[in-house]
Amino acid sequence: MADSILAMTHPRKRLLLLVTPSTYRAEAFCVAAEKLDVEVVRGLDLPQELAEQWGVPLAVSFADPNAATQAIVAYAKDHPLDAIIPVDDSATLVAAQAGAALGLAHNPPEAAEAARDKGIMRRLMDAAGVPCPVFRCFPLAGDPDEIAREVSYPCVVKPLRLSGSRGVIRADTPGQFTQAFNRLKRILLGDGYSLEGTDILVEDFIPGVEVALEGLLTSGVMRTLTIFDKPDPLDGPFFEETIYTTPSRLPEATQRAISECAAAAAQSVGLRDGPVHAELRVNERGPWMLEIAGRSIGGLCSTILEFGAGMSLEELILRNALRMETPSADLATQAAGVMMIPIPKGGMLHAVSGIEEARATPHVEGIEISVKPHTEIVPLPEGASYLGFIFARAETPAEAEAALRAAHAHLRFDIRPMLPVLR
């Protein structure tokens, strides 16, 4: 009787998790929610008519934020929601609009849009005095040879909305610029973008080391949860990320400057609530903002993070969204690292060998090969994924990094040319 009265007094909280059918990351949020006794409803990026076929209670199209918001508000009338969390970039605007409509913790919709569009993001950061590269936007329908004479070198050609370094290409000369421009054009047109009305970003290349910051915003105040070092140089011509290690080996003063720069960037864009993932470069002039996103780190990279007494990043995000007490948000003292296994060449992945030897490497905690055999794989800049992930924990970041490299050296990927399509 006492338990039922308590349940009525403190009803179970309900969370809407906005996910794509192909996301890596929903399971970690579901595990955290179960630990917190929070009910999870998955809002899947699908046409509504496919909801029954897929067996999901709520299907919404992230490409139509207004219709998705209406569907979420209608669902919430009979199933009250306490928080909405977007897992990937494509869901951030829907989460912002629906959160605003339901009076839940949310980012302003215009901030969610700015954090997805690199052109808007750059303009806002530049206007607020946040250190960022010199940039210009050009129409995709423009003449690349003419544009090549207007920019300075080295520069980086970027799509405004693609993520994961897809379509990002460095150019050191006008000839390389024209090649990069045309290559990005093919990528965008292949993704369904129209030639008219589509812009691309061209910005100065910023030398230095690259880092990533994971943060959490609560009513406009940002806490830095961790700073990742990226020990492999990211100098182009493509920008495939490989290893992340934490805690950062940079001096404390530099880390403080990185946190301050990321907080200023979040404020300039207008982000106020929820996770933040930021990418920065650091050189002798200090930190420079590259990008900031209103969501947490992608892939399975969050697996290596542990806070306080065994809390995951996803648990921290849920506690923040639901305004639950957080005992401690300090990163665990043990160093950790993750390798996003790069795609060495395009083709058909037939098999992966050496996995058991890689798993036996000291300090390696796990290996996840996320691409199934007999699947076509495409490297950057056209590709959008990795072969998988390697996870390590050690006493120092250097030991974790060495373990990741040693484990990767054991892996062998049998990649064969794609068979021609017969017509």
Q: Is residue 279 part of a domain?
A: no
Cβ-Cβ contacts under 8 Å for 352 (sequence gap 6 or more): 369, 373, 387, 411, 412, 413, 414
Pair 155, 80 in one domain: no
- Residue 5: pLDDT band (50, 70, 90) is very low
Q: Which of 204, 126, 205, 200 is nearest to 160 (CA)?
A: 200
Q: Which of 68, 89, 106 is the last residue of a domain?
A: 106
- Residue 343: pLDDT band (50, 70, 90) is very high
User: How far is Cα 196 from Cα 346, in angstroms, rounded to an integer?
Assistant: 30
> Which tens digit of pLDDT belongs to each residue from 354-363?
999 999 999 9
User: How far is Cα 198 from Cα 182, in angstroms, rounded to an integer?
Assistant: 14
307 secondary structure, DSSP code: B
Pair 350, 410 in one domain: yes
At 10 the pLDDT is 57
Report the b/e string of 4-23 with b at 16+ CB within 10 A. Answer: eeeeeeeeebbbbbbbbeeb
Q: Is residue 49 part of a domain?
A: yes
Q: Is residue 190 part of a domain?
A: yes
User: How far is Cα 341 from Cα 338, in angstroms, rounded to an integer?
Assistant: 9
Cβ-Cβ contacts under 8 Å for 99 (sequence gap 6 or more): 84, 105, 106, 107
Pair 96, 148 in one domain: no
Work out the burial of residue 344: count CB atoms within 10 Å of its CB; fewer than 13 is exposed, 13-18 middle, 19 or more buried.
Answer: exposed
Number of folded domains that form the chain = 3
At 422 the pLDDT is 57
Pair 12, 51 in one domain: yes
Q: Is residue 55 part of a domain?
A: yes
Q: Which of 124, 282, 135 is nearest to 202 (CA)?
A: 135
Pair 15, 101 in one domain: yes
Residue 25's CATH number: 3.40.50.20
Pair 422, 349 in one domain: yes
At 164 the pLDDT is 86
Pair 66, 142 in one domain: no
User: How far is Cα 95 from Cα 107, in angstroms, rounded to an integer?
Assistant: 8
- pTM of the predicted model over 0.85: yes
Q: Is residue 324 part of a domain?
A: no
At 18 the pLDDT is 96
Q: Which of 204, 234, 262 is the last residue of a domain?
A: 204
Mean local confidence (pLDDT), 60-78: 95
Least confident residue range of 160-164, 253-257, 282-286: 160-164
Token pair belonging to 145: 């040879």
Q: Is residue 415 part of a domain?
A: yes
Token pair belonging to 283: 């050189």
pLDDT above 70 as % of the chain: 97
Q: Is residue 51 part of a domain?
A: yes
> Which tens digit of pLDDT belongs to each residue from 21-34?
888 789 999 999 99
Pair 6, 61 in one domain: yes
Q: Is residue 92 part of a domain?
A: yes
Contacts 24+ apart (CB under 8 A), 1-7: none
Residue 414's CATH number: 3.30.470.20
**Which DSSP string corresponds to 367-413?**
EEE-SPTTEEE--TTT----SEEEEEEESSHHHHHHHHHHHHHH-EE
At 333 the pLDDT is 78
| Bigger pLDDT: 276 vs 163 | 276
Residue 161's CATH number: 3.30.1490.20
Pair 165, 96 in one domain: no
Q: Which of 204, 225, 240 is the last residue of a domain?
A: 204
At 322 the pLDDT is 95
Query: In which domain, by residue range, is 63 found?
Result: 2-106
Number of helical (H) and strand (E) elements in the chain, helices listed first: 13, 19
Question: Is the pLDDT reported for residue 4 higher than 90?
Answer: no
At 2 the pLDDT is 41
What phi, psi does 83 have (nearest 5°)?
Answer: -165, 155
Mean pLDDT (the chain, rounded) = 93
Pair 97, 8 in one domain: yes
Question: Is the pLDDT reported for residue 6 higher than 70?
Answer: no
User: How far is Cα 166 from Cα 272, in angstroms, rounded to an integer?
Assistant: 27
At 423 the pLDDT is 58
